[in-house]
């Protein structure tokens, strides 16, 4: 037990740090924003350092229910980095409404997501997923006086409960027909003859996880929750939980269901194509930029699922690279959305209001154009590279029609990104004023660094990214 505890330092740090931050919030005034913000940021920094220290370790703890490996470590680094940024940017947005519960909930959500990324058993999978979900439901409705936020929290809770029920039913089927909840044990049974019970178990488990990554047809909550939740919370939902859920689905499909590739591959291909097409088409008529970014996230999940459908180490490497680029791009995009404020200080989410934005805030307009072009995968921006990797993985796995369909659908997706850029650069100025000084030094620095990295500079790091993703993906094979 002591040896096991020594290998889960990231989780222990998050647990202890979350409790300390909660106590600070309990015994001090909610006005002490800086105090519990610093406590939570220090906690995430320490947890990140622990993950880095353990990187390269490949073992299991607690009777094989949790893994300590490079795959989980890669996902945790992205999760903690995104959580760090979402805590850092929050006080300015919430103003007097920022409370200690916000960083505490993100810390415990990060703890749950870390468990999801490292789960090697159906029980730990469910515990981690629910720990993250319970915190996320509260975060979505964090602004209690805002009707949109309350509605977002309620929708997320109701649909999340439904998805959890489907997942739990799938888990019970897999346990009933394999006699174990361990991924290795399930894979051993699936290497033999498949039966109808196992097939239904696979379908329900993938459906439950599909909700968490907002894959079509389990995407219905995403646009409403992204629009209604406070922008820092939406930023969090679009990044960290997406990484955790995608890592979890990858581990479950490859680790536990790997031998049944003929069964799950068809489901993943359907989810990939449906997400790419609906994510692209659904975004075309959107007038709210947060709803558009919600459909963009659905679209990008579809491309990641192409890599998963390949079922190869090359496909998993492509997913990990895609997640890293996606997180950087999404963080930058939502940081700009946070700075879209009129002269009264109100948040501006309307896309038509951005007409002529390039003349008022040329720097932010240029950065947003970089992020949108990168999300569309338009070369030479670095967002093109992970899309190329997933298509390569599909072609090498003899899934040429899937790759072709993804390439064709990417043209549709490029339309609505270009439409925003056209609005900012070529439409006449709207009546909305966008004063300067709406962002902090940290936000401006992160936006600038992200935009520069997503330009051609990102290609200089391909070797490092390839080595890290290959090391992480090799764990599953």
Q: Using one digit for the tens of pLDDT, what is the confidence trace for 81-124? A: 999 999 988 877 776 556 778 889 999 999 999 999 999 999 99
Two tokens, residue 95: 């103003």
Buried-exposed string 305-331: b where 16+ CB fall within 10 A, e elsewhere:
bbbbbbbbbbbbbbbbbbbbbbbbbbb
Residue 227 has pLDDT above 60, yes or no: yes
Q: What is the largest CA-CA distance in the chain?
A: 66
CA 304 from chain centre, in angstroms, equals: 11
pLDDT above 70 (res 177): yes
Q: How far is CA 259 from the centre of its chain?
A: 27
Parallel, antiparallel, or unpaired: how do β-strands 66-68 and 59-61 relate? antiparallel
Contacts of 472 (CB under 8 A, 6+ apart): 69, 70, 71, 73, 74, 316, 317, 320
DSSP structural state of residue 214: T
Overall average pLDDT of the 73-78 stretch: 94
- Are the beta carbons of 220 and 159 closer than 8 angstroms? yes
Q: What element of type H or E holds 61? A: strand 59-61
* pLDDT greater than 80 at residue 246: yes
Which pLDDT score is estimated for 49? 94
Across-strand partners of 61? 66
- Per-residue pLDDT tens for 359-388? 888 888 899 999 999 988 888 889 899 999
pLDDT of 53 above 70: yes
pLDDT confidence band for 4 (50 / 70 / 90): confident
- C-alpha 83/C-alpha 411 separation (Å) is 32
Mean pLDDT of the region 348-354? 85
Average pLDDT, stretch 131-142?
89
At 455 the pLDDT is 86
Distance in angstroms (rounded) separating the CA atoms of residues 409 and 360: 33
Average pLDDT, integer, range 204-233: 88
Instruction: Say what the pTM is.
Output: 0.93
Q: Give the domain ranges of the chain.
A: 2-474
Name which of 327, 290, 337 is nearest 453 in CA terms.
327
Residue scoring higher pLDDT (273 or 443): 273
Torsion sign (Cα): 132, 134, 136, 139:
negative
Q: How many angstroms separate the Cα of 407 from the Cα of each of 303, 384, 394, 403?
A: 10, 11, 11, 6
């Amino acid at each position: 037990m002591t040896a096991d505890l020594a290998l889960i330092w990231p989780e222990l740090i998050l647990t202890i740090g979350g409790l300390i931050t909660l106590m600070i919030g309990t015994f001090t005034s909610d006005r002490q924003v800086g105090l519990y913000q610093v406590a939570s940021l220090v906690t995430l920094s320490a947890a990140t350092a622990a993950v880095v220290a353990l990187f390269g370790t490949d073992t299991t703890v607690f009777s094989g229910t949790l893994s300590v490996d490079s795959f989980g470590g890669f996902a945790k680094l992205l999760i903690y980095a995104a959580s760090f940024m979402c805590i850092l940017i929050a006080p300015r947005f919430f103003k007097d409404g920022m409370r200690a519960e916000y960083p505490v909930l993100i810390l415990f959500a990060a703890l749950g997501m870390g468990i999801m990324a490292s789960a090697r058993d159906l029980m730990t999978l469910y515990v981690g997923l629910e720990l993250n979900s319970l915190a996320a439901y509260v975060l979505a409705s964090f602004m209690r006086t805002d009707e949109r936020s309350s509605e977002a929290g309620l929708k997320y809770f109701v649909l999340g409960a439904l998805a959890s029920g489907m997942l739990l039913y799938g888990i019970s089927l897999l346990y009933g027909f394999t006699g174990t909840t361990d991924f290795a044990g399930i894979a051993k049974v699936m290497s033999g003859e498949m039966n109808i019970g196992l097939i239904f178990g696979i379908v329900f488990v993938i459906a439950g996880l599909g909700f968490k990554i907002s894959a079509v047809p389990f995407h219905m909550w995403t646009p409403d929750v992204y629009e209604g939740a406070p922008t820092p919370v939406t930023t969090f939902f679009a990044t960290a939980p997406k990484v955790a859920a995608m890592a979890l689905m990858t581990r479950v499909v490859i680790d536990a269901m790997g031998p049944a590739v003929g069964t799950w591959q068809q489901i993943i291909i359907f989810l990939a194509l449906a997400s790419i097409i609906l994510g692209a088409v659904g975004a075309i008529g959107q007038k709210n930029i947060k709803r558009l970014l919600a459909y963009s996230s659905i679209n990008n999940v579809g491309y990641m699922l192409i890599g998963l459908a390949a079922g190869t180490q090359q496909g998993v490497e492509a997913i990990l690279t895609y997640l890293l680029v996606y997180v950087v791009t999404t963080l930058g995009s939502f940081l700009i959305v946070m700075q879209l404020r009129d002269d009264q200080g109100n948040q501006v989410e309307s896309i038509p209001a951005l007409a002529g934005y390039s003349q008022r805030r040329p720097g932010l307009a240029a950065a947003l154009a970089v992020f949108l072009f990168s999300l569309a995968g338009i070369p030479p921006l670095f967002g093109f590279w992970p899309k190329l990797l997933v298509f390569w993985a599909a072609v090498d796995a003899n899934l040429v029609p899937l790759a072709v369909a993804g390439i064709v659908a990417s043209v549709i997706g490029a339309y609505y990104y270009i439409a925003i850029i056209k609005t900012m650069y070529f439409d006449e100025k709207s009546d909305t004023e966008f004063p300067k000084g709406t962002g902090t030094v940290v936000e401006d620095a992160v936006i600038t660094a992200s935009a520069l990295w997503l330009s051609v500079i990102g290609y200089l790091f391909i070797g490092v990214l390839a080595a890290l993703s290959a090391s992480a993906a090799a764990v599953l094979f």
